Structure 1
Amino acid sequence: MGLFDSSSFYALENGLKGALLEQKAIAQNVANSDTPNYKAKRAQFQHVLEEVTEKQRLEAYRTHPKHIAFGPMKKGPYISEDRSTMYHHNGNNVDMDKEMSNLAKNQIYYNALTDRLSSKFQSLKSAVRGG
């Protein structure tokens, strides 16, 4: 067991990876806000964070290997595309107000995670120095 193997470090790491993925999706949306037929993208990573905090998982009992398994999904973070709306006449559905709002929300989320991670490292630093 390593020094950084705790579930809180793992959750913070996954949260930062998710914030990075969301930042990339927002940047693509802003860059393509005038591109015809471009569809807005969103990062999907909350399910990964929920898996870290979840203690017990429901698993189905399969009596035959060909039966379909169900239970918690093991899918990692991914970017999805919203094809359900169209805001502009050229088929583009990027709403710049929404993107700027998502950008601010993601920045606050990222700052909160980095502050928490920084305090974890400060605690370790204090423990090593004997303070």
Structure 2
Amino acid sequence: MAISFEKAFGMHPHALLIREKRSEVLAENIANADTPGYKAKDIDFQQALSLAQSRQGQSASRTHEQHFHIASTMRKDTLFRNPDQPDTGDGNSVDIHRERNAVMQNSLEYQTSLTFLNNRIMGLKKAITGTGQ
């Protein structure tokens, strides 16, 4: 009997990829906190996850070089964030406190998915070998 990793792991592999991309976007925001005219960006996690789940049944590998790659579809989910603070005069919309909070929350959620996947893998390993080691 074949093991379906898509069924075993659920949405968590997709969530990890999206969280990874979001951490890159948030780090870019922090790096550009003092850049005049820079607009803060973020990823709509729910929208990106819905898109990834709708494609879950499709093959993840590219069979032709002109096919879209999953990383290119994630760029569509990167949106400019509406600023919470008034313009400081240089056109930069990065709120460093908000970015740090978003990084921390994203990190915790990434770790949660990793923990789930690790537990699931240990369960599969135990089922296959009969031991948890």
TM-score by length of 2: 0.71
CA-to-partner distance for each residue in 1:36-65, whole Å, 9 max, x for gaps? 100000012312434639xxxxxxxxxxxx
- Alignment-derived partner of residue 71 in structure 1: none
Name structure 1 gaps, 5 residues minimum.
54-75
Do the aligned partners of 2:83 and 2:94 also contact (CA within 8 Å) in 1? no
Hey, which of these two has a bigger chunk of helix by percent? 2
The whole-number CA distance in structure 2 between the counterparts of 1:92 and 1:39 is 6
The whole-number CA distance in structure 1 between the counterparts of 2:78 and 2:48 is 13
Do the aligned partners of 2:83 and 2:95 also contact (CA within 8 Å) in 1? no
Q: Does 1:5 align with 2:6?
A: yes
The whole-number CA distance in structure 2 between the counterparts of 1:84 and 1:115 is 33
Residue identity over aligned pairs, in percent, reads 27
The whole-number CA distance in structure 1 between the counterparts of 2:95 and 2:83 is 13
The whole-number CA distance in structure 2 between the counterparts of 1:108 and 1:84 is 24
TM-score by length of 1: 0.72
Give the superposition deviation at 1:125.
0.7
Which SS does the other structure have where 1:5 is aligned? Answer: helix
The whole-number CA distance in structure 1 between the counterparts of 2:105 and 2:82 is 23
Give the superposition deviation at 1:10.
4.3
The whole-number CA distance in structure 2 between the counterparts of 1:91 and 1:83 is 12
The whole-number CA distance in structure 2 between the counterparts of 1:5 and 1:96 is 37
Give the superposition deviation at 1:89.
1.5
Which SS does the other structure have where 2:6 is aligned? Answer: coil
- Alignment-derived partner of residue 82 in structure 1: 81
Aligned Cα root-mean-square deviation (Å): 2.2
Q: Does 1:98 align with 2:98?
A: yes
The whole-number CA distance in structure 1 between the counterparts of 2:19 and 2:79 is 15
